Amino acid sequence: MVFILFLLATIIIAIITLLPLSRHEVWWIRGLDFPRMQFITLIVLTLVLACWLLDMSRPGSQALLAINAACLLYHCWWVLPYTRLHPVEVKSVPRGKAIHSFKILTSNVLASNRHADCLIDLVKQHKPDILVTLESDSWWQQQLEALETDYPYTIKCPLDNLYGMHVYSRLPLENSTIEYLVEPDVPSMHTQIRLPCGARVRAHFVHPAPPSPTENEESVERDAELLAVARSVADATFPVVVTGDLNDVAWSTTTRLFRKISGLLDPRIGRGMFNTFHAEHWFIRWPLDHLFHSHHFRVIELQRLTLTGSDHFALLTSLDFRAGHNNGQRMLHADAEDKQLADDKIASQDVKKSDVPVPVK
């Protein structure tokens, strides 16, 4: 009976491990990309109990052990880069040695949240150069008007459908546009940031809809938007920053494909997971809010900040611009199969990389 229970557990573990390897885009398969840490915990517990309760001299028990161990190693392969056990992808620079630093605060505020004062307090405390809000509606826009004295450069798109967006900046924003790349009610923002040193940074702020039973049945809309942006910035010669709630985890196949196609770097690698969702439930947390950047930057600091009333933590990223240097930083590279997969996903939603604005001319 004990062996049968472990056999059933192993079959379930194998299924939830193997299903995401398929390219099926239905929400419940793509959702299995998210809880890799939870799967790791489940597999470790299964292995410990199996070693304790099963007769490990039996070939069947050894086979179960081997299958669980293989699944564990596979999930660890995805998660390990987002721990301190992995080398960093983006080099660090001490704050005192930063040359051209700036900070971006990315915050999914939760549309129903009425603690705007807490976000304003975070802004006053940490003094980001740019604030990006997601799920911000007209009520949030009214509350955040208090910031406009210090943050005079803005992009505003208040919506009541959970996809409103706002940008508030101390730094000049130029050639700003709001686009609906894939879905008619899901915006993205595109702008050029002018740093005090005169450098121009191409910035894209995104919040695609997730694959879920209440949103999109499949991930194709999300994937197409992200990969269209990735295709667009891959050709960029100027510094690039992409940030937002991607409704995808850092260790998913789609996010990895985004990194390969775009050539952008992930400052979390080698530093930590920075799980931003769910803020109220520690046992189901994963990194949904992201910031990627080109090789022109080093990292000063990454912080996860508590925002009262939201189901997301805010993400504060401090970067230092280094003109003309790649700093010896290595990004992922796309092969022909990756490029074809990205092109197929983009084409499935009738969007092109040329639809993504290029604010830096």
Give the type of residue at 89. Answer: E
What is the reported pLDDT for 322?
85
- Using pLDDT thresholds of 50, 70 and 90, give the confidence band for residue 162: very high
What is the reported pLDDT for 172?
98
CA distances from 107 to 63, 242, 303 (A): 46, 14, 12
CB atoms within 10 A of CB 41: 13
Q: What is the mean pLDDT of residues 235-241?
A: 91
Q: What is the mean pLDDT of residues 215-239?
A: 95
CATH of domain 95-355: 3.60.10.10
Q: Is the pLDDT assigned to residue 57 strictly greater than 80?
A: yes
Are the CB atoms for 254 and 281 separated by under 8 Å? no
What is the reported pLDDT for 305?
98
Q: Is the pLDDT assigned to residue 361 strictly greater than 80?
A: no
Give the type of residue at 280. Answer: E
Q: What is the mean pLDDT of residues 312-332?
A: 85
Q: What is the mean pLDDT of residues 290-318?
A: 97
- The dihedral built from the CA positions of residue 21, 27, 33 and 37, taken in this order, carries a sign that is negative
Helices (H) and strands (E) in the chain, counts: 9, 11
Percent of the chain having pLDDT more than 90?
A: 91
- Using pLDDT thresholds of 50, 70 and 90, give the confidence band for residue 323: confident
- Using pLDDT thresholds of 50, 70 and 90, give the confidence band for residue 114: very high
User: Burial level of 180, CB count in 10 A (0-12/13-18/19+)?
Assistant: middle
Tell me which residue of 90, 93, 96, 46 sits closest to 69, measured CA to CA: 46
What is the reported pLDDT for 324?
64
Strands 240-245 and 200-206: parallel
Q: Is the pLDDT assigned to residue 237 strictly greater than 80?
A: yes
Q: Is the pLDDT assigned to residue 24 strictly greater than 70?
A: yes
What is the reported pLDDT for 326?
60
Tell me which residue of 275, 290, 201 sits closest to 238, measured CA to CA: 201
CA distances from 264 to 186, 242, 258, 332 (A): 23, 9, 8, 8
Domain limits of the chain? 2-82, 95-355
Tokens read off for 300: 């000063």
Tell me which residue of 163, 113, 164 sits closest to 141, measured CA to CA: 164
Q: Is the pLDDT assigned to residue 328 strictly greater than 80?
A: no
CA–CA distance, 314 with 185 (Å, rounded to integer): 24
